[in-house]
Amino acid sequence: MGEVLYSAMEFFNLPSEEKLKFMSSDVYKPARYGTRLRDGADKIQFWRVFLKHYASPLEDKNPPKHRCAQVPGRRWGKNMDEGMQVMAVNCYPPCPQPDIAFGLPPHSDYSCLTIVLQSSEGLEFLGKEDESWRKVPNVHVGDHLEVLSNGIYKSVVHRATLNRERIRISITSLHSLGVGVKMETAKELQHPKGYKETSFMDFLNFLSKNDIAEGKNFTNTLKILGD
Ligand SMILES: O=C(O)CCC(=O)C(=O)O
Ligand SMILES: [Fe+2]
């Protein structure tokens, strides 16, 4: 585990000109270094640099441990194995005023499941009962699972906080269906259906046009509102 974080650190220690070769505002690019989700387009700057890498399909990789995850009436292990894995390597430098800045603002992930490895504490999630921020366990549910479960499992709103003393590295692995494969609500849970079907590509299209830091929320665009 330490070794993975160490090699992530090695990347961020490279000279700027090496890292800038990967910089792009194109959200469709399979490997991208940046400071904003859409460098050059997004107005708000967070205290973070990141490297995102899309890995799809997963045939060459070791099967991930979550392949047998189930929701009522539907097993989606095979679809996940043939699905999309996005790795985000985040680097948060020490921040002189951690109380007034964010590493990453509150958001949910476009994934079924996200697995996080962090070099030190900083990841927090919003508790639904009392609206307070708490430390996040290392696996959380994303928007995709909210659609599949018709809202039984809500995607976890989380944020990355900062500290004054040391660099913090996190590596997130986001697992979802294939890039163009539509996720729909399980038939047995459609009473009534609360979400439109959607794919990872739909999310990228949304991301290319919206600044998530300004509060635009992808899941809200999927909700089917009753009368
Ligand atoms: O750095 C963290 O702890 C969170 C990262 C995160 O939420 C993300 O990459 O989507
Ligand atoms: Fe996230």
Residue 59's identity, in one-letter code, is E
Helix (H, G, I), strand (E, B) or coil at 16: helix
Ramachandran area for residue 89 (φ above 0: left; ψ -120 to 50: alpha; else beta): beta
Does residue 23 sit in helix, strand or coil? strand
Calculate ∠ Cα 166-171-177, nearest 5°.
160
Note the ipTM here: 0.98
Arithmetic mean of pLDDT over the chain: 82
What pLDDT was estimated at residue 165? 94
Average pLDDT estimate for 97-115: 90
Percent above pLDDT 90 for the chain? 38
Split at pLDDT 50, 70, 90, the class of 146 is: very high
Q: Give the domain ranges of the chain.
A: 2-221
Cβ(123) to ligand 1 under 6 A?
Answer: yes
* 219: enclosing H helix or E strand: helix 218-222
Mean pLDDT of 117-143: 88
- pLDDT > 90? residue 169: yes
pTM over the 0.90 mark = no
Question: Does 189 sit in the ligand 1 pocket, CB within 6 Å?
Answer: no
Q: Is the CB of 37 under 6 A from ligand 1?
A: no
Contact assessment for residue 85 and residue 56, using Cβ atoms and an 8 Å cutoff:
yes
Q: Is the pLDDT of residue 134 over 80?
A: yes
Per-residue exposure over 181-192, b if at least 16 CB sit within 10 Å of its own CB, e if not: bebbbbeebeee
What fold characterizes domain 2-221?
Answer: Jelly Rolls (2.60.120)
Please choose from 104, 156, 166 the residue to mutate so as to test ligand 1's pocket, defined by most ligand atoms within 8 A of CB.
104
Which helix or strand (DSSP H or E) is residue 115 part of? strand 113-118
- pLDDT given at position 187: 92
Whether ligand 1 lies within 6 angstroms of the CB of 91 is answered as no
Q: What would the pLDDT profile of 57-84 be if each residue is shown by its tens digit? A: 544 443 343 333 333 334 556 677 778 8
How large a percentage of the chain has pLDDT more than 70?
82
